[in-house]
A and B are shown apart, each in its own frame.
Chain A
Amino acid sequence: MMQDDVIEYGGSAAAIRHHYDVGNDFYSAWLDPTMTYSSAMWDGLPKDAPLEEAQKRKLAYHAESVGAAEGMRILDVGCGWGGMMRNLRSSYGVAECVGLTLSEEQLAYIQQLGDPGIGAVLSNWHDYRPDKPFDAIISVGAFEHFAHPQQSVDERRGVYREFFQACRDWTAGKGRLSLQTIAYGKMSPEDANPFISNEIFPAAELPTLEDIVVASKGLFRIERLRDDGLDYARTCEMWSNKLRGAVRSGVVDPAIHPVEKYSRYLRMSAAGFRMRKIGLLRIAFAAD
């Protein structure tokens, strides 16, 4: 448990590193080859479609949500290992992608891709200042880190509103935003499991759908909203099985990597989605 109680805006860097800097090799052992560490999407695919295909479906969904097209400049807030940006470049002819990350390992990974049209910046959204506007913004699996458990509902919504205001400013008030985030469902913040909130994602607080609606009001119009929690349940289960396989085949050594912790976390998350305690929101916003 972190003792540092200073609230960092836009996601706590120490908390992000706590989770993501376990090592790229560890994640690559159980993520799909696109290194996408967020829910896949099975809508429009056969139920038994493999994870990699469903991850590509998800990448395409967000690209299409913002109308990705040739020559555009797109910002990815919380870019992970760059899978979204690579797809925007290769499948949609997007001219320039900039990704924000707080993880040094992710930054190094993206830099070694060697694509001059893909840039990564080690910054949170709160401190970031683009040198020119973007045509669109995508943010997948980052919003979960924006608020802090010690904040009141109003403070949380204030932070979210600042984010939506920043997105509006950075797209000159005419861009689109595609957001994917886990949100509270039937569960309320006080019921959060201490293992997840202390060990796995310290200093992070999930939004509710209501938070997002209130925080974006007047800045962005919600064009399309989906709750795909079962997609995330399936994704977590597939990761967990892959992790187990990686241990069995010797690719991952439980003596070095936190296998048991992740296995438990992935399966508990899957259960939370299946029980609808938490959900997965996919929201397409257009400038209001």
Chain B
Amino acid sequence: MNSDSIRQASAKEIEDWIVARIAEIVNMAPANVSADAPFDSFGIDSAKAISLMVELENWLNLPDELPLELLFEAEAIRDAAAGIAAAVADMAAAQAEG
């Protein structure tokens, strides 16, 4: 993988990544963070939420920012992960077209 290419993670991988990160932030075991719950149900402040998004973008090696609504407006983390995976696939397609 060259340093500029996007990591094409699956929705499930992204979901696991978000769940693990939330678990770290709120100091819970990942098993206790339900992917069926919405992101805003964990009481995470906006600064930490943004840090999470930036880390996720870095992990995925994205050239552009992910729209925050993908995380905040989704009814569940699982849906957020699916939306993010779709956005990542779009960015990867755009990158492949050059």
Give the interface of A toward B (CB within 8 A). Answer: 193, 195, 233, 237, 240-241, 244, 248, 264, 267-268, 270-272, 274-275, 277
Given contacts A195-B47, A264-B50, A271-B72, 20 further A-B contacts (CB under 8 A): A233-B68, A233-B69, A237-B65, A237-B68, A240-B65, A241-B64, A241-B65, A244-B64, A244-B65, A267-B50, A267-B54, A268-B50, A271-B50, A271-B68, A274-B69, A274-B73, A275-B40, A275-B46, A275-B49, A277-B46
Which of B45, B64, B69, B73 is the one whose CB lies under 8 Å from A193? B45
CA distance A146 to B46 in the complex (A): 24
Residue B76 lies at the interface, judged by CB distance under 8 Å to chain A? no
Shortest Cβ gap from A189 to chain B (Å): 15
B contact face: mostly helix, strand, loop, or mixed? helix
Shortest Cβ gap from A132 to chain B (Å): 45
Shortest Cβ gap from A55 to chain B (Å): 19
Chain A contacts of B54 at CB under 8 A?
267
CA distance A237 to B69 in the complex (A): 10
Which of A233, A240, A244, A268 is the one whose CB lies under 8 Å from B47? A268
In chain B, residues 59-96, which have Cβ atoms closer than 8 Å to a Cβ of chain A? Answer: 63-65, 67-69, 72-73
Residue B53 lies at the interface, judged by CB distance under 8 Å to chain A? yes
CA distance A215 to B46 in the complex (A): 30
In chain B, residues 17-43, which have Cβ atoms closer than 8 Å to a Cβ of chain A? Answer: 40
- How many residue pairs link A and B with beta carbons under 8 A? The number is 40
Shortest Cβ gap from B65 to chain A (Å): 5
CA distance A275 to B49 in the complex (A): 10
Chain B contacts of A244 at CB under 8 A?
64-65
Do the beta carbons of B47 and A274 come within 8 Å of each other? no
Chain A contacts of B46 at CB under 8 A?
193, 268, 271-272, 275, 277
Do the beta carbons of A248 and B63 come within 8 Å of each other? yes
Which of B53, B63, B65, B72 is the one whose CB lies under 8 Å from A275? B72
CA distance A268 to B72 in the complex (A): 12
CA distance A264 to B46 in the complex (A): 11
Chain A contacts of B50 at CB under 8 A?
264, 267-268, 271
Shortest Cβ gap from A267 to chain B (Å): 5
Do the beta carbons of B65 and A271 come within 8 Å of each other? no
Shortest Cβ gap from B17 to chain A (Å): 19
Shortest Cβ gap from A235 to chain B (Å): 12
Chain B contacts of A267 at CB under 8 A?
50, 53-54, 65, 68
CA distance A277 to B50 in the complex (A): 14
Chain B contacts of A264 at CB under 8 A?
50
Chain B contacts of A195 at CB under 8 A?
47
Shortest Cβ gap from B67 to chain A (Å): 6
Chain A residue with minimal CB distance to B40? Answer: A275
Chain A contacts of B49 at CB under 8 A?
271, 275
Chain B contacts of A233 at CB under 8 A?
68-69
Chain A contacts of B72 at CB under 8 A?
271, 274-275
Chain B contacts of A240 at CB under 8 A?
65
Which of A240, A244, A248, A270 has the most CB atoms of chain B within a 10 A radius of its CB?
A: A270
CA distance A148 to B54 in the complex (A): 31
Chain A contacts of B63 at CB under 8 A?
248
